[in-house]
Amino acid sequence: MDKEIIFIIEESNEGGYEARALGHSIYTQGETYEEVKKSVLDAVHCHFEQKDLPSMIRFHFENRYLE
């Protein structure tokens, strides 16, 4: 069991946000930042068995549009 899982959250080109896990094939999206965070929690619970759930989920927001 991994103790933590890290998600990179970025603004989507189509609007809203996209989230992808580092080291796991988990990807989700949402219209708002709060919605994408909830989608991440749902995706993690679907991806892992209860006994294998990470004890910590970290969010790293990347703004690729900084100039």
Distances in whole angstroms, Cα of residue 2 to Cα of each of 6, 8, 24, 25 = 11, 17, 11, 14
Pseudo-torsion of CA 17, 23, 25, 28, nearest 10°?
-20
Give me the residue spans of the domains in the chain.
4-62
Secondary structure (3-state) at 59 = strand
pTM to 2 decimal places? 0.86
Q: Residue 56: its pLDDT value, please?
A: 96
pLDDT in tens, 9-52: 999 988 999 999 999 999 999 999 999 999 999 999 999 999 99
Tokens representing residue 55 in the block = 């004890």
| 50: CB partners within 8 A, 6+ apart | none
